[in-house]
Amino acid sequence: MTHPLPFKTFQDVRQALLAEQEIALLDVREEDPFAQGHPLFAANFPAGRLELDAWSRIPRRDTAIVVYDNGEGLAEPAARTLQQLGYSDVALLEGGLQGWKNAGGEIFIDVNVPSKAFGELVESVRHTPSLSAEEVQALLKQHADVVVLDARRFDEYQTMSIPGGISVPGAELVLHAQALAPNPATQIIVNCAGRTRSLIGTQSLVNAGIPNPVAALRNGTIGWTLAGQTLEHGANRRFGAVSAEQQTQAASQARAVAELAGVRRALAADLERFIAETGRTTYLFDVRTPEEYAAGHLPGFRSAPGGQLVQETDHSAPVRGARIVLADTDGVRANMTASWLAQMNWEVWVLDTVPASALTEIGTPAQSYPEPQGPLHPVQPTELAAWLQSEPTGETVVIDTTTSANYVKRHIPGAWFVLRSQLAEAVAHIPKARRYVLTCGSSLLARYAAADLTRLTGAEVYVLQGGTLAWIEANLPLEHGETHLASPRTDRYRRPYEGTDNAREAMQAYLDWEFGLVEQLGRDGTHGFRVI
């Protein structure tokens, strides 16, 4: 017998946030509808990916979880799935998103909102220095003594960057500033796509006491584009090595900032105690570069480069009120990252003294996933290719549950793109077949759709062994574009600053929205942010 799910109200969730109790408020819609409106500390957990995401992002199985949607019928099945995955304290938000609104709850748009709102608060309190796109362009044209540091991920930097800019992701700024601008008179400009990472990066350098004049590029590449200036594409300039003296100085500066922010210090014994504590969620993050992490890291730590961790707290640590422990090998990146997380009202610890001998785990750790329900029937790529080539059209239908971006890039000819959470609706629009074959990039996600597809169709259901990647490795033909969409492409919200083909109005609207976040924080009242 299926027992009714409990409900929690807006006031229940609000009280937990104010009391700084652990809670995970999960929006189980796709990313695009999530970005159209959600509570401040909601984390996006698409219902179709719960089996892949839940265990790693919500490690403690008795975490208080509250699930909601906006009337799409996703929340209750998602809550049941979470219970099947072993979570014991799962409730539905009373009234869903509309109930939150009706109770007076503040609604925020876009993604990574806690970090973006915090960045705006930092600027409003500290008056973080900035220069307009026109002012920076003038400096570059004059060949002034200036260096532009791009605080985003390297792949974002490569997509579009300020001409001459150097990729220095946020947590690396304090560590590398002296090497990149050894003359204290050199003007340092920090940029990102919009505002947050440039503001946090600039203020990091100011807080650390860097002697150079420092300014954020006001409104980032959006501001640059709106000023009618040209961006560079495919750049590959990156920071280099630092001397022992530069590292020592940066470590001293970073530790002083962390102490001021109230960051706590952890030793190996503390780490053992945290891991053994069953009633508390502890996230362990290595904030160095992905390359350093892969070369060797502490067992149990996940890779979360510091700048992105500050930018994406809602994704990396969806349990609000959890404990966070950070590690590096230089005493700079963990302390600077922790200084920001502490100001965002996280209980954050820095693991001191991490010797190279302790970095015993190599590569990316294997992640555990639940077993799919029901038996799986694998099919090899060559066998599927033979079916598609020799059998009448429609005898075999391929369903691809990968991301829409991956599907558009390349997919098996004739395959239908389907969001797993919308499988029932999609099947109604896909031609009926005697046999269905499920795939995705590796078929990891596809495996979980097999039982549902069997129930919905009553047909033979197979899972492509090794997924579309195995099909590609077998040198089998591919198709490109939006050829067979059985679900809308709502799995990813397109940011206004992605590329330069977006309407100027969308970019300006995004900036206007960011400017209003401080006022929204005040109305919401649950954040606990403070600025040193």
Residue 295 lies in a domain: yes
Residues 107 and 121 in one domain: no
CA-closest candidate to residue 128, choices 205, 227, 224: 205
Q: Which of 234, 268, 288 is the last residue of a domain?
A: 234
Same domain, 331 and 433: no
Using DSSP bridges, classify how beta strands 435-439 and 396-400 pair: parallel, antiparallel or unpaired. parallel
pLDDT (0 to 100) of residue 353: 84
522 is a domain residue = no
Indicate if 64 and 150 belong to the same structural domain. Answer: no
| Residue 382 sits in the same domain as residue 353 | no
Read off the CATH number of the domain in which 37 is found: 3.40.250.10
pLDDT value of residue 400: 98
The confidence score (pLDDT) of residue 501 equals 55
* Residue 129 and residue 93 share a domain: no
* Last residue within a domain, chosen from 426, 441, 473: 473
- Residue 103 and residue 123 share a domain: no
pTM of the full structure: 0.94
DSSP summary character for residue 165: -
Assess if residue 497 is contained within a domain: no
Q: How many domains, the chain?
A: 4
The DSSP 8-state label assigned to residue 422 in this structure reads G
**Residue 519 domain-assigned (yes or no):** no
183-240 pLDDT per residue, tens: 999 999 999 988 899 999 999 999 999 999 999 999 999 899 889 999 999 999 999 9
Whether residue 211 contacts residue 184, with contact meaning beta carbons closer than 8 Å, is answered with yes
Residues 131 and 89 in one domain: no
Burial, 175: exposed, middle or buried (Cβ in 10 Å; 0-12, 13-18, 19+)?
buried
User: Which of the residues in the chain have pLDDT under 70?
Assistant: 1, 497-504
Round the average pLDDT of the chain to a whole number and report it: 94
What pairs with residue 183 in β-bridges? none
Cβ-proximal residues to 244 (8 Å cutoff; 6+ apart), any chain: none
**β-pair partners for 317:** none
Q: Looking at the structure, do residues 79 and 180 belong to the same domain, yes or no?
A: no
Indicate the residue among 86, 111, 136 that finishes a domain. 111
Would 31 be classed as within a structural domain?
yes
Q: Is residue 508 part of a domain?
A: no
Rounded CA gap, 101 and 96, in Å? 9
pLDDT at residue 422 in the model: 96
Q: Are residues 167 and 200 in the same domain?
A: yes
pLDDT of residue 246: 97
Residues 106 and 162 in one domain: no
Rg over CA atoms, the chain:
24
In a domain, 239, yes or no: no
Q: Are residues 289 and 322 in the same domain?
A: yes
What does the pLDDT read at residue 500?
46
SS3 400: strand
> Which residues, in sequence order, are bridge partners of residue 215?
189
Residues 137 and 229 placed together within one structural domain of the fold: yes
Q: Containing domain of residue 26, as a range?
A: 7-111
